[in-house]
């Protein structure tokens, strides 16, 4: 196994960091790696906002639902889908790009571009001995996040990423079975096989929790998912995105 694959397979989210900031060189390396990712038709439809200011991180930590590691880390990155750049280019080049940049297609392109860049950043950071955690919680309250980061229309903060020197290493979480995620030639047509794979995974996950909590917890994954999805969260999202002139039609 090479160093790249072992770094990737060794990933776990880190939620406790030493009180030691990243250097500007580290930040630049991580962002350069983000930028090296593929981008749809070279569109580069994302931006990254880095937060050093402790008060701003504290405010963000509150906004995401009181996650202390959003305040206490080596650096906090926020990855944004960004078509503002292309809106400005349209004005400058005197081309009507409105329908394109308001389309669902380009919204998807911007999300995918931002996520590819982010994952490169994550792997690069981990290769430097740093730990990371994605923070989807910034979507809890995007109006406030937008005000704090002063993002214009056509820029959607998608998720944050805490980066820093790990103070506590968690266990890796076991993923769905390979055969369940990976289908060959066509999508799995047999729902019985599909559900059986989930049942086997449930057994693995509940054994994992049982062993780690001395029998106190033995949740199944499907149970966790059903409970989570029964709650409706961030249901303002469509309105927010469309108010920011993306994903309109």
Q: Which residues make Cβ contacts (< 8 Å) with residue 227, sequence separation at least 6?
A: none
Q: Tokens 């290493």: give the residue.
A: 169
Sole binder of a copy of itself in the list 21, 43, 204, 206 (CB under 8 A): 43
In this complex, which beta carbon is closest to a copy of itself, that of residue 178 or of residue 214?
178
- Give, as one character, the DSSP assignment of residue 139: G
Tokens representing residue 246 in the block: 């993306």
The mark string for 134-173 relative to a copy of itself (x by CB under 8 A, - otherwise) is: x-x--x--------xxxxx--x--xx-------------x
Which member of 21, 40, 58, 200 binds a copy of itself (CB under 8 A)?
40
In whole angstroms, give the CA distance from residue 32 to residue 11.
20
CB of 76 to a copy of itself, least distance (A): 11
Whether residue 70 contacts residue 144, with contact meaning beta carbons closer than 8 Å, is answered with no
Q: Which of residues 186-225 bind a copy of itself (CB under 8 A)?
A: 186-187, 189, 191, 194-195, 198, 221-225
Question: Residue 76's beta-bridge partner residues?
Answer: 51, 162
Nearer of residues 4 and 169 to a copy of itself, judged by Cβ: 4
Q: Which stretch binds a copy of itself (CB under 8 A): 8-16, 62-70, 162-170, 209-217?
A: 8-16
Tokens of 227: 């409970």
Between the CA atoms of 165, 167, 171 and 172, what dihedral angle is there, to the nearest 10 degrees? -10
x-or-dash string of contact with a copy of itself, 71-110, rule CB under 8 A? ---------x----xx-xxx-xx-xxx-xxx-xxxx-xx-
């Amino acid at each position: 196994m090479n160093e790249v694959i072992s770094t990737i397979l060794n990933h776990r989210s880190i939620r406790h960091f030493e009180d030691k900031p990243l250097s500007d060189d580290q930040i630049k390396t991580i962002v350069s790696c983000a930028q090296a990712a593929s981008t749809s038709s070279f569109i580069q439809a994302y931006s990254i906002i880095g937060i050093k200011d402790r008060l701003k991180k504290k405010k963000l930590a509150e906004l995401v639902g009181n996650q202390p590691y959003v305040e206490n880390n080596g650096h906090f990155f926020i990855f944004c889908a960004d078509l503002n750049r292309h809106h400005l280019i349209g004005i400058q080049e005197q081309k009507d790009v409105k329908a394109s940049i308001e389309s669902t297609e380009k919204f998807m392109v911007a999300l995918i571009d931002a996520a590819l860049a982010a994952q490169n950043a994550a792997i690069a950071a981990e290769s430097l001995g740093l730990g990371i955690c994605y923070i989807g919680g910034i979507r809890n309250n995007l109006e406030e996040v937008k005000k704090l980061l002063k993002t214009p229309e056509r820029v959607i903060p998608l998720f944050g990423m805490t980066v820093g020197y790990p103070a506590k290493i968690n266990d890796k979480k076991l993923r769905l079975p390979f055969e369940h995620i990976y289908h060959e030639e066509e999508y799995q047509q047999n729902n019985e096989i599909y559900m059986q794979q989930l049942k086997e995974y449930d057994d693995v996950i509940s054994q994992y929790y049982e062993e780690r909590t001395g029998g106190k917890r033995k949740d199944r994954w499907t149970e966790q998912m059903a409970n989570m999805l029964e709650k409706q969260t961030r249901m303002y999202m469509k309105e927010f995105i469309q108010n920011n002139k993306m994903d309109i039609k």
